[in-house]
Structure 1
Amino acid sequence: MSTYIVRRILSTVPVVLFVMIFVFSLLYLAPGDPAAILAGDQATQQDIENIRRELGLDRSFPVRFVEWSVGIAQGDFGRSIFTREPVSRMILTRVEPTLSLMVVTLVIALIIAIPMGVAAAWKRGSLLDRVIMLVAVLGFSVPVFVVGYMLAWVLALQLGWLPVQGYTPIAEGVWPWLRGLLLPAITLSGVYIALIARITRATMLEILQQDYIRTARAKGVANNSVLFVHALRNAMVPIVTVVGLGIALMISGAVVIETVFSLPGLGRLTVDSILRRDYPVIQAIILIFSFVYVFINLLIDLSYTIIDPRIRY
C-alpha cells in the first residue's frame, strides 16, 4: 500500500514541473512584445523598458523561471500589473466563492446523478430510462450560460425564490450563503449530472449481468440491497474516475457561471485579468487550477485502493 502511494505521488512530479514551465512560458509565448502591449500606444521607450524589467523580460528564461519558482514555493506570485496588489492577496480574497460554488455543485450533482444512473440501469428500456437519458443528452447539449439565463428568468425573476446575482460569505450565515449559490450551482451541475448519470448507467448495466448479482437475486436479497450494496459498490471505480475528470468541467464552467451571476470568484478574476492582460495574475490562476486538478486526480487514484484493494498489487 505504501509503495503504491509513493509511486503515485512521484508520478505527479513531472506533470507539475511541465505545468509550471508551460504556465511561466505564457508570458514569452504571447504574440508581440508583452511590455509594449501593456505600455500602450502612447508609451515611451523608457516606459517599455521599465515594464520589461518589472516583468523580468530583461533576464534569461532559465534565471527568471528559477526566481519565479522560488517565489511560488514561498507563496509569492508577484504583483498585479494593473492594481499593484500582491497576486496572492487578490487570489485569497476570491477563493471562497469559487470553492463554495464547486463544493455545492459537486454535492448537487452526486445526489441527483448517481440515483438517476442506477434507476435507468435497473429499468433499462423503460420510459423512466428514456426520460433519464433524454435529460442527460440535454445536459450535454444546452450551453451552460443558456441554462443559467433560463433558470435566472424562472427561479429569480418570475418566482423570486433565489437571488439572481451576488455572493454572501458563509460567515454571514449558512442559509444566505447557500441561497446565493443554489442558482449558479444548479446551472453548473447540469453537465456534471449528465456525465455521471450516463457513466453510472453504463457501468451498472454491466455489473447487473454478473453471476454474483444473479446469485444475490436468487437468494431473495432485496432490490435496494442488490443495487446499492452489491452492484453500485463494484461500479464505483469508473464513477469515481469520471467525478475526478469532471472537476475540469467545473473549473472551466466556473469562469462562465461567475460572469453570468456576478460571483466575485477566481473565474471572474480570470476574465478580468485576461481583458487587462494582467499576466502575473493569469499565470497564478492557471497554475493554481492546474495544481488543484493534479491533486484531485492523485486523490482519485489513491481512492481506488480503498474501493478495490486489488489495484494495490
Structure 2
Amino acid sequence: MLLYGIMRFAGLLATLFAASLVLFLILEVIPGDPAELMLGMNAQEDTLAALREQLGLNAPAFTRYIDWVTGMFSGDFGISYTYSVPVSDLIGDRVLVSLPLALIALVLSTVIAIPVGVLSAKYRGKALDTGIMAGAQIGIAIPNFWFAILLVFVFSITLRLLPSGGFPGWEAGVWPALKSLILPAVALALPQAAILARVMRSSLVEVLHEDYIRTARAKGLSKRSTLWLHGVRNALIPVLTILGLQFSFLIAGTVIIENVFYLPGLGRLIFQAITQRDLIVVKSAVMLLVASAVFVTFLVDLAYAAIDPRLRR
C-alpha cells in the first residue's frame, strides 16, 4: 500500500509540473502587452519600459517560469498587474467562496446520485428505473447556467426563499453565507448527480450479474445485504473515478456559475483577470484549480486501493 501511494504521489508531482509548464507557455504566446493595457495606448515608451521592468516582464521566459514556480511553493504568487496587491491575497479571499461551493455541490451530487442509482439498479427494467433514467438524461442535457437561471426565477423571484446572487461574507454569519451558496451549489450539483446516478446504475447492474453475487444469495444472505455488502461496494470503483472527475468539472463550472450569481469566487476572479489581461492572476488561479483537481484524483487513487485490495499490488 505504501509503494502504491508513493507511485501515485510521484505521478501527482509529474502532472503538476507538466500542467504548470503548459499553462505558462500558453499564456506566453497570447499577444498583447500587460504594461500597455495597464497604462493605456497613449502611455510613453519610457513609462512602459519602467513598468515592464518593475513587473519583471523583461526577464527571459525561463527565468520568469522558475521564479513563478518557486514563488508558488513559498506562497508568493506575485503582484497583480491590475490591483497592485499580492495575488495570494486575492486568491485567499476568493477560495473561501469557491471551495465551500464546490464541496457543497460535490456532497449534494453524491448524496443524491448514489441512492438514486442503487434504487434504479434494484428495480431495473421497471417503471421506476425508466423514470429515474429519463430524469437523469434530462439533467445531463440541461446546461448548468440555464438551470441556475431557472432556480433564481423559482426560488428567488417567485417564492422569495433564497437570495438571487451576491455573497455577504462569512463575517455576516454562517447561515447567511451558506444561504447564498445553496442555489449555486444546486445548479452545479444536479447535472453532475444525473451523470453519477447513471454510472452507479450501470456499474451496479453489471456487478449484480457476477458469480459471487449468486454465491452470496445461495449461502442464504438476504437480497438487501447482498446488494449493499457485495454489490454496492464492488460497483463503487467506476463511481469513484467519476467523482474525481466531477470535482474538476465543479471547479471549472464555478467560472460560469459565479458570474451568474455574482459570487466573489475564484471563477469570477479568473474571468475578470482574463478580461483585464492580468496574466499573473490567471496563471496562479488556474494553477491552483489544477492542483486541486490533481490532488483529488490522487485521493481517489488511494480510495481505489482501500476498496479493492488487488490494486495495492
TM-score normalised by L of structure 1: 0.94
Which residue number corresponds to residue 29 of structure 1? 29
Deviates more, 1:251-260 or 1:218-227: 218-227
RMSD of equivalent CA atoms: 1.7
Q: Does the 8 A contact of 2:38 with 2:82 survive in 1?
A: no
SS at the partner of 1:235?
helix
CA contact (8 A) 2:105 2:186 kept: yes
Measure how far apart 1:172 and its partner are. Answer: 4.2
The runs of 4+ residues in structure 1 deviating greater than 6 Å are: none
Q: Are positions 1:192 and 2:181 aligned together? A: no
Q: Is the 8 A contact 2:34 2:278 kept in 1?
A: no
Partners of 2:178 and 2:214 in 1: CA distance: 43
What is the CA-CA distance between 1:190 and the residue it aligns to?
A: 1.8
**Relative to 1, partners in 2 of residues 1:86 and 1:3: Cα closer, same or farther, differing over 3 Å?**
same
1:165-244 to 2 correspondences below 5 Å: 165-170=165-170, 172-244=172-244
Q: Is the 8 A contact 1:155 1:161 kept in 2?
A: yes
- Tell me the amino acid that sits aligned with residue 11 of structure 2: S
Amino acid at match of 2:41: D
Paired positions, count = 313
The amino acid that maps onto 2:69 is S
In structure 1, list runs of 5 or more residues that go unmatched: none
Identify the residue that residue 266 of structure 1 maps to in structure 2.
Answer: 266
Residues 212-266 of structure 1: CA deviation (Å, up to 9, x unaligned): 2223334453333222222101111111111001112101111111111111111
Q: Which stretch has the larger CA shift, 6-15 or 192-201?
A: 6-15
Gaps of 5+ in 2: none
Q: Which amino acid aligns with 1:232?
A: V
Secondary structure at the aligned position of 1:57 is classed as: coil
**Which amino acid in the other structure matches residue 103 of structure 2?**
V
**Structure 2 counterpart of 1:148:** 148
- Which residue identity is paired with 2:240? V
Tell me the CA shift for residue 276 of structure 1: 1.0
For the 8 Å contact 2:156–2:163, the answer to whether it is kept is yes
1:1-313 maps to which residues of 2 (within 5 A)? 1-170=1-170, 172-313=172-313
The whole-number CA distance in structure 2 between the counterparts of 1:63 and 1:180 is 43
1:9–1:298 Cα contact (<8 Å) kept: yes
Distance 1:221 1:60 in 2: 68
Deviates most, 278-287 or 127-136: 127-136
**Pairwise CA distance, 1:122:** 1.2
Structure 2-normalised TM-score?
A: 0.94
Identity, % of aligned positions: 39
